[in-house]
Every structure is written in C-alpha cells, then in structure tokens.
Amino acid sequence: MKSQFLLRTKKQIQLILALLFALSFALLWAFRIATTGPSLRTWSPPADTPSNGAWTVEVRQKAKSAWIPLFVHAVKVGHQEPSEPLAKTVGLAYRDAVNASLVKLDFDGEAEFRATFQRGDVKEFVLSPASYHIPVQRDGRTFLFTVSQDIRAPRKIVLRVNGNWEEDCLHLITNPVEKDAPSENDAGVLAIEPGEEIPRVLPAGKRTYYFKPGLHRLPQGAWVELDLGAMQHLDRFDLESGPVRKFLVPGGQNYRIEYRERKEDTWRTACENRNNARLDLRGERFPAISARYVRLILLGNTTTNRSTGFNYLDANYLTAFRLYAEGSDKDVAEGHAVDGAMAGFQAVTRKGNTSLCGNEWSGESFFVTRPGTTLYLAPGAVVQGAIAGEGLADVSIRGRGILDAGVLVHNPSSLYREGRTSAIHLEHMDNVRVEGISVLDSPKWNIVLNKSRNAVVRQVDIFGSTVNADGIHMSAVTHGLVEGCFLRSCDDLFCMYHYGPGKDVTVRNCVCWTDGGRAVLLGLGATPGDIEGVNIENLDILNIQNVWNMEEHGGALQIWATGNNTIHNVRFRDIRLEPCRFPSIASVLQVKAAGMKSGSFGPGHVEDIRFDNLSVSGSWNFQSYIQGTSTGFEVSNIVFQNARWESSVLTGDAHGQVEVRSFVHDVKFLK
C-alpha cells in the first residue's frame, strides 16, 4: 500500500511539473509575441493629403523581398529674409515657403531604401548626417542605401541633390516601432472618427482622445461654462475686458455663446460675432433662449493696431461675463461658472471682479482642461489646429500622426509676429510629454512647455516655414528632456529664455536644421532666475543661417546671459556641424554676458561652460567669440576639449576661430 501511494504521488508530481512547464512555455511564447511584433510599420495619410512628386521612395527589410511604396508628403520649408547687405552678398532674396518632401515610417533593425528623384538628372548629392556613415549606391537618379535603426538616436536622414536646400530635399524621418500605443477599444479611451465632433471635455471615465486615421479639425477657443441652477429665459449679456493691456492690444473680443437645457443635450448657438470692434459689451441683445447651461467661447480679437512690434490677434482677456433674463436687470450668471479652459475662470462671474482672466493664444487653440489627459494621434491621423493648456499634471500628446498647424493664421508675418498661435502651448505643467508625432507649419513657436517640471519631447519631428516658428521652448523648466528629434524651421530650434529659474535640462541625439536662427539659444530676457545644469549632447547640425544682426544674434550655439541672470554649468558634447548653405552669414558660437543693444535687457553673467568634441566642417566665415561687458558682468571658466575646425584642433596657441574678448577669464583650449 505504501509503495502504491508513493507511486501515485510521484506521478502526480510529474503531471504537475509537466503542466507548469507547458504553462511557462505558453507564457514565454505569448510574451515574445507581445514584445516583438512587426519590425517595419508604414501607413498612409488621409485622402487628399498633399503629396510631393519630386521623389518616389520605397522600403523593404529583406533583400529580394517586395518593395513597399511610401507616401511622400509635401512639407513646407522656407527661410527668413537676411538684412541688407547680406541678402545681396549671398543672393538670397526672400520668397514664400516651398514644398519639400517628407517620408515617415517606423522600423527596428535594418531597412533598405530606394529613392528616385523625379525632377531631372542628378549631378551631385549629399546624404546627411555624415555621422551615420551610410554607404549609398547610385544609379542615375535612383539611390539605394541601408539604414540601421538606433533606438536612442532614431535615424533622421536628409537627401539633397544638385545643391538644392529647399524644394528638392527629401527628409526621411524614422522612429523605432511604437510599442505602447493605446487601443481604441480600451475602457478609458474615446475613439474619434475622422470628421466627428471633438468634445472640449472628455466624457466621464475617459482619459484619452484617440484620433483614428483620417482628417480631424480641433475646435477652437478658450471657454467658460455656467450652470445657472435652473432654466432661465435669457436675452442679453455683458462682456467686459477691463483696462486694455497695451502690450497685447486685445481689441474687441470675438465670441460665441452656446446653450442647452440639459447636460446630455447638444450645444446650440445663441449668438456669435467674429468681427466685434468694441472692447466692452453691455446689454448686448440676442434672440431670447431658454437654458440652464451656457457656454461662452472666446475666439481672439479684432485688433489691427500694433504696440511694441506685436499684434496678439488670438489674445482674450476677460473681467466679467453677465447674463440677464427677459425683463430683468439681475445678473443670473453671478457665481455660476462651473468649468473653463482658462486658469481662474470662476472670477468672470464673480460680482465686482476686476482681475483679468485669459491668455494670448486662446483664439485658435483647443484647450486640455483635465489632468491625466492623453491626446493620441494614430498613424495616418492628421489633426488640424493647435493644442494649449496650463497648470495641469500628467498630460501627453503622442502617437505617429501629424499635428498640422498650417490652418492657423500666418500672414502677414511682419504684423503678427509672436502674436500668432503656437502649435502646442502647455505652461505650468508637471509631467508633460510630447512623443512621436510630427508638428507641421506652426505660425509661431512649435512646442512650448515653459515654466513646467518633468517635461519631455521625444522622437518628434518639426517643420516650420515662417519667422518666429521656433522649434522647442523649455524656458524656466526644471527637469527637461529633448531626445531623438528632427528639428527644421526658420528660427531658433531649442530655446531656454530667462523666464525664471531653469535647470536640469538635456537635449540629446537630435538632428537640427535652421533656415534663420540658432540651433541652441540659452538666455535672453529679464525675468530673475538662473539657467544651470544644461547638457546638449550628440547633435548633428545640418545647416544654420543667421539673418539678423550677426554680431548680436549670431551663432549656431549661443549663450547670452541678460537681466543680471547667470548661466552656468552648461556642457556641449559631441556636437557636429556640417558645411552650411551660406558661410558668410553663419557663425559657430557666441558666449556672452551682455545686454541687448536696444536696451531691452541689461547684461548677466556666464561661468562654467564646456565644449567637448565639437566638430566643425566647411567654412563658417562670421567670427565666433566669447565676451563680457564690464566688471561684475563677466564670462569665466570656459573649456574647449577636442574642438576641431575642419582638421585643426583648437589649442591655447591656436584658436583664432574663437575670439576671446574683454572681461573674459579662464578660457582653456585642450586637445
């Protein structure tokens, strides 16, 4: 009996072990399937998306396998107009933006590309960045090359032919295959079909806007919602902006008033005016309505005046919004603001309020208003408009789709300038991320994450075509990261202004191209707060052209301490500058503690700056320099380690490429 019991026990143990082994194998196989997935992913944009016939591009991952055609986007690029006499010197006359070529895809491992130029013969070509060391086989107008992906520095390739820097350029922008995309069927996801109305606030239980492949248009305008507590019969309103802010010139407020009887009803329009010329509206009538819920949407302003060189056409500032029932002068809106897109929205229905509520970018922006919100742009999705928000935590904009800001007001750029709308403007955020998307043709700064903590921009590509279309702003940011991006625009590409203390910010593994500005700008401004602990690493700079006052605003890399602020503990490492388009209007670097010649900002202080493995190719004719202003506004402790201009390494005895000027101390040039 005992031996039979032991035999049965042994068999049971063997069976259990076999089952555990089978279960373990199944789990491992499931994990392998879940984590490997496809190693090449391509997609198509919506129908009628502008394409560029300058190039045809195909891809495959295995030799002799079928080639996969890729969609070639027409993407706008341009340049600023240099001030005279440099325009005549380089022969660069200003013209409107032109369409270059853009191809996007994801892949892991290796991929083979075949690109054919369709606009005539090819006499010469350049494939950049040179640091990728990609061999190219050329057969007439066709180019064949293999690219190895790098998950830390995703490959961003530019192929230029026949000396052209604009309309004949092919931009081949790749990322690793996306691994953590949400499902449109997840419980917390709101899947949005192309053309479907986009709610300004997600329904209860939803945290993610999922923009499915196709064309979408974001709703515009800052807003405030009122719950009047009971049905009211309304026929008049007041809209007051208080004293005009001269710097912003808000002008008459453009607006729409919407209403509904029940929460679940669709919003209907009570009245709308996009040409309002009056600063304050009192007793303004509209056709009588019955409503419990009312929503005021602010849509910019009608100003045509200029003040200090700016014109904030999308600014809205409000002190009061009142509503009146038929036959009554009692404000039924008082104290009834329950939701809104602007910080402090409750104040606009508070009796006797005089504080301004609003911002400069409300007119054309879609506002994120809830913490923990994600906007996911699926591959093949094109979302038109601009995204804004302030004072939130855990907000992300990600995916592989396109945010197209080309529908926003651009011109005349000489009038609107920085008064236009940024494609993404998120301020005072904590844990904010922009990942994987393309941002196209923003009329102002492309991505703004100013005054935030834990801000990340990863694997994003930016294309801008107008003045002031800066790339990424991280002014007054603590703990910031920009990595794996491609940045091409007509102004500065990465900026940290003196908008307050900024520290612990890293920019790495990016490819940069500016058609009118600096690749990196640290400083400039008068708000108290030092900039410190900044690391700029592993950048390929394919082109820069400085177009304004070269002595003041020059340099691919510029450190400019102003406003009695200090910039310190900054390191540039592994920075490679390729031959630029116009050497006579390009300089490599400026490091200075100096005020603006206009007198807008006084000088600051610069100390503890390192340049390690700086490599400069080609001619850069405008002098690089380091300069202080006076005692107390100096530059000190600057180190160059292995800084190469072509084949020459800068040393203490030979560093003519970088001029050391007055009020500068402890500069070292080391091999």
Domains of the chain: 48-175 (2.60.350.10), 222-359 (2.60.120), 387-670 (2.160.20.10)
pLDDT bracket for residue 552 (50, 70, 90) = confident
Tell how far CA 18 is from the center of its chain. Answer: 54
Q: What are phi and psi of 95, to 5 degrees?
A: -145, 165
- pLDDT at position 93 is 63
Q: 30-44, 177-191, 199-213, 493-507: which has the minimum mean pLDDT? A: 30-44
pLDDT, the chain, mean: 90
φ/ψ (deg, to 5) at 252: -70, 140
User: Cα–Cα–Cα angle for 21, 27, 30, nearest 5°?
Assistant: 140
**Nearest Cα residue to 459 out of 79, 19, 106:** 106
- Sign, CA torsion 102/46/266/276: positive
Three-state secondary-structure class, residue 15: helix
% of the chain beyond a pLDDT of 90: 77
Distance, in Å, from the CA atom of 119 to the CA atom of 2, rounded to the nearest integer, reads 90
Q: Which amino acid is at 241?
A: S
Range with the largest mean pLDDT of 113-127, 248-262, 314-328, 643-657: 113-127
Q: What does the pLDDT read at residue 21?
A: 42
Pairing outcome for strands 374-377 and 393-399: parallel
At residue 584, φ and ψ (nearest 5 deg) are: -70, -15
613, HSE (Cβ side, Cα atoms, 13 Å): 9
Q: Is the pLDDT of residue 5 over 90?
A: no
Question: Above 80 in pLDDT, residue 25?
Answer: no
Q: Give the distance, in angstroms, between the CA of residue 311 and the centroid of all CA atoms in the same chain.
A: 22
pTM of the model: 0.92
pLDDT value, residue 91: 65
Q: Are 463 and 489 in contact (CB under 8 A)?
A: yes
Q: What is the pLDDT of residues 235-263, one digit of tens each?
A: 999 999 877 665 566 678 899 999 999 99
- Tokens 């612990």 belong to residue: 504
What is the rounded CA–CA span in Å between residue 500 and residue 567?
Answer: 12
C-alpha distance from residue 568 to each of 532, 558, 560 (Å): 5, 13, 11
Name the band, by pLDDT with cuts 50, 70 and 90, for residue 309.
low
pLDDT at 635: 98
* pLDDT recorded at residue 88: 61
Q: Evaluate whether 94 touches 83 at the Cβ level (below 8 Å).
A: no
pLDDT score for 570: 98
Please write the tens of the pLDDT for every residue from 82-108: 555 555 666 666 668 899 999 999 999
Integer CA distances (angstroms), 336 to 145, 329, 330, 510, in order: 64, 17, 13, 48
What string of H, E and C letters represents the secondary structure of 248-283?
CCCCCEEEEEEEECCCCCCCEEEEEECCCCCCCEEE
The residues facing 160 across adjacent strands are 126
Q: What mean pLDDT is predicted for residues 592-599? A: 91
- Bond before 199 cis per omega within 30 degrees: no
**pLDDT(624) > 50:** yes
The H or E element containing residue 315 is: none
Average pLDDT over residues 463-474: 94
Amino acid in position 27: L
Q: What is the mean pLDDT of residues 602-631?
A: 96
CA 421-489-496 angle, to 5 degrees, is: 70
Structure confidence by residue, pLDDT tens digits, 176-187: 999 999 999 999
Confidence (pLDDT) at 27: 37
DSSP string, 422-482: -SEEEES-EEEEEES-EEE--SS-SEE-TT-EEEEEES-EEE--STT--SEE-TT-EEEEE
Which of 138, 140, 134, 178 shows the shortest CA–CA distance to 156?
134
- What pLDDT does residue 386 have? 98
pLDDT in tens, 500-551: 999 999 999 999 999 989 999 999 999 999 999 999 999 999 999 887 777 8
CA atoms within 13 A on the CB side of 571: 13
Closest Cα to residue 202, out of 338, 373, 320, 339? 373
DSSP string, 345-378: GGGGGSTT--S-EEETT-TTEEEP-STT-EEEE-
Closest CA to 240 of 275, 273, 278: 278
48: left (phi over 0), alpha (psi -120 to 50) or beta: left
Beta-carbon contacts of residue 573 (< 8 Å; ≥ 6 apart): 535, 536, 537, 538, 610, 611, 612, 613
Q: Per-residue DSSP letters for 19-55? A: HHHHHHHHHHHHHHHHHH--SEE-----TT--B-TTE
Q: How many C-beta atoms lie closer than 10 Å to residue 26's C-beta? A: 10
Pick 516 or 401 by higher pLDDT.
401
| Token pair listed for 533 | 């602990």
Who wins on pLDDT, 597 or 138?
138
Task: Tell me the residue ranges of DSSP E strands in 544-663.
Answer: 557-561, 566-577, 589-593, 605-616, 624-627, 635-641, 644-645, 648-649, 658-660
Of 448, 463, 362, 450, the residue nearest 406 (C-alpha): 463
Return the residue matching tokens 């990322």: 175
**pLDDT score, position 94:** 62
pLDDT of amino acid 333: 97
- Give Dmax (Cα) for the chain: 108
Rounded-to-integer distance, Cα 400 and Cα 661, Å: 47
Segment 399-414 shows an average pLDDT of 88
pLDDT band of residue 1 (cuts 50, 70, 90) is very low
Cβ neighbours around 179 below 10 Å, total = 11
274 pLDDT tier (thresholds 50, 70, 90): very high
Q: What is the DSSP string of 82-147?
A: PPTTHHHHHT------EEEEEEEEEESSEEEEEEEE-SS--S-EEEE-GGG---EEEETTEEEEEE
Reply yes or no on whether the pLDDT at 29 is more than 70.
Answer: no
pLDDT of 427-448, one tens digit each?
999 999 999 999 999 999 999 9
Residue 559 near residue 609, CB atoms below 8 Å:
yes
**Residue 178 buriedness (CB in 10 A; 0-12 / 13-18 / 19+):** middle
